[in-house]
Amino acid sequence: MRENARTRATIWKLAGWIAAACIANGAAVAASPPNVILIYADDLGAGLLGCYGQKIIRTPHIDRLAAEGMRFTNAHGCMYCAPARASLLTGLHDSHRGAWSITQGGLLIQQDQGKLGEEQVEKKLSTAIQAEPGEVFLAQVARRAGYHTAQFGKLDWGFTTTPERLKRHGWDDAFGFLDHVRAHGYYPPYLWRNGEKIPLPGNTHLDAGKTKESGYDSPEATRARRDRNGKAVYSQDVFIEALLQSIEEHRDERFFIYHPTQIPHGPVDVPEVHPDFADDDRLTDVQKEYASMVRILDDHVGRIMAKLRELDLDRKTMVIFTSDNGHELYYVENKGRGRSRSYHGELDVFKGSMDLAGLKWTNWEGGIHVPLIARWPGQVPAGSGSGLLTAGYDFMPTFAELMGVEIPDGKDGVSFLPTLLGRDQAARDFIVVNHAVLAGCWKLVKEKDRFLLFDLRRDPGERNDVSKEHPD
């Protein structure tokens, strides 16, 4: 009997090993899944990073991520902010009919101004973003795997949200803005942390000190941007300090940190011009300030990595850097030209869109192509690259597989964990971004009442519609 019991125990132990080995669909994941930090930059075109070809702005810390990890060249977000974040957090593409609705922005500013009462704000919020009872969000996937979940920065989606919704989305700790409109300024009078209002002394502007979005290089606009009156605390500095503290506090447990940055979303505002650009005659004043915002972002990535090394978490943490959508211009006039397929970076001294067609707010490649870099020492091959077609809604299945939990049912994403671990992975069939479908080298775009077809392998700038040559 004792021999049979020992045999059964051995069989069950072996079965457990086999099950654990199969969780990641055949991809060998380390016995202990890593911490995960997802840095989600705002309106950052891939071309602003040195590892993607930037020549004016140095980004040494993000470049080091790429040198020590994997850089993707065929990653896509969405056309603009809100759908990109909703897609990321739900694992659904942004073209589902009735998949979600978006709340009105500026509600909390209007409440602070006395234009709306609390009941009016609650009524407006109750009509949108009503999650289905069974809907699973990204942070909930991490919580199922036993991770502490934290978000620091811009609100996770919508144009106004609430502490209750952040909790429903799975965040143990959520610190940042609840109002998208206020998040366009960098000096808010207060932020929110888990339902508690956190005042920022010295910040006196209800609109967070938002600067002008036109006439960038006029003397008046420059003076307004550099006027520090009522602008004592830069919100992005608050977020990075809170993020580093969270790493410290949760060093002995698995954590998932989501950092949706404000920068470099405009209007341009920065505490001071970075020394790299102060005397650069190639740049206007507003371009120097914008470039400084990108440097702040890079410096903050460097601080995150330094903290991981300090706490001996460097090899225990996967760090992913990406953006919500393609590039946007906040430092030149007439940026409306960038909404056209005929625009290929002509206005941009930084070439943030890498001369791809269009900008943010379009589903041309310049509007949806994003940087994607992943680093996990010893697991993600250092100095590697991938042309795998990926979308923002692929993070949920990828993280589920990485963390060893089941991928939620009904999601659109495909895990790219095998690629991250340097293993073979079959190309996916297609991705969907707004009114566009990408499959292999092909891109089909619905433009008003017609369909356009592009061969991105031969024509990355989407200059030549070949739908007539390929009617099928």
Per-position b or e across 366-385, b if 16+ CB within 10 A of its CB: bbbbbbbbbbbeebbbeebe
Could you give all domains of the chain from N- to C-terminal order, each with its CATH number? 35-428 (3.40.720.10), 441-472 (no CATH)
pLDDT of residue 159: 87
User: d(Cα 436, Cα 360) in Å, to the nearest integer?
Assistant: 14
Using DSSP's 3-state secondary structure scheme, residue 370 falls into: strand
Report whether 325 contacts 75 (CB < 8 A). Answer: no
pLDDT of residue 106: 84
Nearest to 271 by CA among 322, 190, 202, 335: 202
pLDDT of residue 127: 64
User: d(Cα 79, Cα 327) in Å, to the nearest integer?
Assistant: 10
Residue 343 half-sphere exposure, CB side, CA atoms within 13 Å? 25
In angstroms and rounded to an integer, the radius of gyration of the C-alpha atoms of the chain is 23
Q: What residue type is assigned to position 200 of the chain?
A: L
pTM of the complete model beyond 0.75: yes
Q: What is the pLDDT along the chain (472 residues), one digit of tens a residue?
A: 334 434 333 333 333 333 344 444 444 454 589 999 999 999 999 999 999 999 999 999 999 999 999 999 999 999 999 899 999 999 999 988 655 556 778 888 888 888 988 888 887 777 665 667 789 999 999 999 999 999 999 988 878 889 999 999 999 999 999 998 899 999 999 999 999 999 999 999 999 999 887 888 888 888 889 999 999 999 999 999 999 999 999 999 999 999 999 999 999 999 999 999 999 999 999 999 999 999 999 999 999 999 999 999 999 999 999 999 999 999 998 888 889 999 999 999 999 999 999 999 999 999 999 999 999 999 999 999 999 999 999 999 999 999 999 999 999 999 999 999 999 999 999 999 999 999 999 999 998 889 999 999 999 999 999 999 998 7
Rounded (5°) CA angle 109-111-112: 65
How does DSSP classify residue 365?
H
pLDDT of residue 110: 87
pLDDT of residue 212: 82
pLDDT of residue 129: 54
User: d(Cα 454, Cα 368) in Å, to the nearest integer?
Assistant: 15
User: d(Cα 430, Cα 204) in Å, to the nearest integer?
Assistant: 48
Using DSSP's 3-state secondary structure scheme, residue 301 falls into: helix
pLDDT of residue 128: 60
H-helix or E-strand spanning residue 35: strand 35-41
